[in-house]
Structure 1
Amino acid sequence: MRFKTNINCGGCVRGVTPALDGHKSIKRWKVDLESINRILTVHAEDEVSSAEISAGIADAGFIALPV
């Protein structure tokens, strides 16, 4: 799954790390800080929805919109 985010620096990545690493269905993830769109790519099992990931990111104080 891919999301456009407002995660724009290493500090922001550290801010969302607990939410993403703490989700049992997420296997790995990465934010492309070089892209102007700050794309978050999430590799997860089928049981997690993009809405659930967006909500977890929102709880961490950031925005993640599916692309």
Structure 2
Amino acid sequence: MKTLKFKTNIKCDGCITTVTPHLDALPGLEQWTVDTNVPDKILTVTGSTEALTQEVIDTLKKAGYQAELI
């Protein structure tokens, strides 16, 4: 398992609702949370796949959001 943190533009509960089905469908992604109370809107993901970083970035891009590994 690895845990990664991303700076995102997921700003509110509506944004979280939009990305939920996309992130939940990612194979190997065990858990994820978004802290919208900090300026960088930090997405924390835990998963078991080697390509997790790129998969999360690509998945959020398809949903209309940005993610940058921090």
TM-score grouping bracket, smaller chain normalisation: over 0.9
Q: How far is 1:34 from its partner?
A: 0.7
- 1:32, 1:14 → 2: CA distance? 14
Tell me which of 26, 34, 38 is aligned to 2:37.
34
Q: How far is 1:49 from its partner?
A: 2.7
The residue that corresponds to 1:50 in the other structure is 53
Matched residues, number: 67
- 1:35, 1:23 → 2: CA distance? 25
Give me the CA root mean square deviation. Answer: 0.9
Runs of 4+ with deviation above 4 angstroms: none
Which structure has greater strand proportion?
A: 2
The residue that corresponds to 2:9 in the other structure is 6
Q: TM-score, normalised by structure 1?
A: 0.93
The residue that corresponds to 2:69 in the other structure is 66
Q: Do the aligned partners of 1:25 and 1:48 also contact (CA within 8 Å) in 2?
A: no
Identity of matched residues, %: 37
The residue that corresponds to 1:18 in the other structure is 21
Structure 1: give runs of 5+ residues left out of the alignment.
none
Per-residue CA shift, 1:1-48, capped at 9, x if unaligned?
110000000000011101110112110100001111100000010333
